[in-house]
Structure formats: C-alpha cells, structure tokens
Amino acid sequence: MNTTEFSPAPETPRAVLWDMDGTLLDSSRYHWQSWREALAAENYELTKESFTSFFGQRNDTIMRALFGDAYPAGEIKRVSDFKESRYREMMREGSVELLPGVGRWLRRLQSENWRQAIASSAPLLNIEAILDVLGIRDCFTAVVTAEDVERGKPDPQVFLAAAAKVGVPPARCIVVEDAPAGIEAGRRAGMRTIGVLSEHPALEADIVVRTLEELPDTAFDDLLAGG
C-alpha cells in the first residue's frame, strides 16, 4: 500500500519593526543638545516643549514646521548635516545603552526566529553608529531610514518598506515605538503596535508600557494572535 508522507506547512514569517531613539535607547539628550546648537546658529531658540513635540520626526518635516514650507531644501540639508554630525560626536563621546528590557527581547525574538528590522526617521549614519556602539547589528536583517522613504511618520511608508525588506506581510508585523506619530504610522500600515513611554506621556498603542521589562514572555505572540 502506498503511503504519503506529509510534512508540516512552513510557518508564516513574522516580524518586529523597531523604532530607534526612545525605543531601543535613550539618546534624546544628545538630540536635544545638537538641535539646540544647530538652530541657535540659525538664530532660532529651541524650547524643550517644541523639541518634545517634534522628536522622532524627519528633519525636513521638523525644519519646515519651524521655518515654513518654503524653507529651501539646500538649507535643510546644511542645518541637518551639522545637527547630525554633532549628535554622532556627542553620542560617541558620551555614553549610550539599551533601554531596560530591550536587550533581552532582541535576543529572545532572534532565538524564536522573528525577523527584526529598524524602521527609523534617523539618517543611516546615525543608525550605523548606534548599532556598532551597542553591539546589536546581528539582531537585524534590515534597516530602513529617512533616506529610504519620501514621507515620514505618521505616514506608514517606513514600516511598509521595512516589512517588504524582511519579506513579512503587514498583518504579521508588530511595531515597537515611543512616539505618537510612529504609533499612528504602524496602525495605518495595518500592524499591531507596542508603545514605550519615554518623551511622550501617553500613547494609543495596542500595548503601552513604561519599559519592555513589563512585557510578559508571551506578549509578542499573544499580540500577533489578536490577544
């Protein structure tokens, strides 16, 4: 009698798409200081309230909000390049570390075959520097930066691009974010969201925590299953 061997169906891939600043690490003080320096050179006095309101958005979005839609692209690049160069200098000279619970979850998700990507409004040079300083480059199979998309958060483009890079459908992706614009972008991309409270006092995510240490061991699996 002929027998037919059945092999189990391959598991549908799943992914976690990480924001960077305020989610993986807290480097807000370096962003605050470098933005203050860059804008002071343009005779603009930045307040902490204004900084908090735009933190996590693309530089071109920030500068047009501050100086108007007609602010020239060349000037945006000049000021942005100075700001980001100072940020990287401050970060290398100072000290940065992963936020509580992040290292554990990066390694746990990696061991459980979740695909992971960074989907950030930061420039690639910043991300490369941070991955090296923190020693977490091997956790990620893809990186999507401000240079890879035309529209910043809350537009979902950065998360959709990251999902495409790791080869996972949006419905099988979970976004980890600390900013309202990022949470909205994840939701508009059709993804589940985890919000980490940092610079922003409230987030409308599927799960909201003060740190990733608060998440139970089954949090990502349960969220993807609709729990």
Q: Which residues are catalytic?
A: 19, 21
Q: Strand pairing partners for 195?
A: 177, 208
Handedness of CA 58, 114, 227, 195 (dihedral sign): negative
Alpha helices in the chain (DSSP H): 28-40, 48-54, 59-67, 73-93, 102-111, 124-134, 157-166, 180-188, 219-224
Query: How far apart (Å, rounded) are the C-alpha atoms in residues 90 and 95?
Result: 9
Reduced to 3 states, what is the DSSP secondary structure of residue 25? strand
Query: How far apart (Å, rounded) are the C-alpha atoms in residues 15 and 57?
Result: 23
In which residue are the tokens 């483009």 written?
157
